[in-house]
Amino acid sequence: MYSLKRNHIAAFLLASSAALGLAPAAQAQGEPSHGSMGMHRGGPMMMLRGLDLTEAQRDQVFKIFHDQEPAVHEQMKQVRQARENLMKLAAADRFDELQARQAADAQAKALSTLAVIRAQSIHRVREVLTPEQRARLDQRSQQRRGQEPR
């Protein structure tokens, strides 16, 4: 059961990581790739390692990411469609700047929505953590960004 949970969380994180540029290779190819998953580069789940989550907390985290999965999937479809439209316009004999801007705007909006979904999920995960776990998470985050802990 735990392995199944990890697969769902991994799928969500892949999509959300792509939205925030954590998986640029996958994004450039237009298809998520498990080998370039953001969580291997320090994404949200990696940051939860070592926080000694209880089984109940792990279940809650799984539910948070699992519940967001349909919205993430839909947004990724929209990102791919807009990217495909933009690439078709770029390869056309005659370039239509208005249509290209519309496709680029659609892609940006879908990526923005993915970023908001991810931020909401991270916020919900933080609510599951104890104050001590949140403090450790914040400290790690600051260290990752090269900042001094507060």
- The structural domains of the chain, with segments of one domain joined by +, span 2-144
Residue 18 has a pLDDT of 44
- Cα-Cα-Cα-Cα torsion 125, 126, 130, 135, nearest 10 degrees, comes to 140
Residue 24 has a pLDDT of 35
Residue 150 has a pLDDT of 53
Q: Rounded to an integer, what distance in angstroms lies between the CA atom of residue 150 and that of residue 146?
A: 12
Residue 29 has a pLDDT of 34
Q: Which portions of the chain are predicted below pLDDT 50?
A: 2, 4, 10, 12-13, 15-43
Residues in CB range of 89: below 8 A, 6 or more apart: 95, 96, 99, 100, 103
- Under CATH, which number does the domain 2-144 receive? 1.20.120.1490
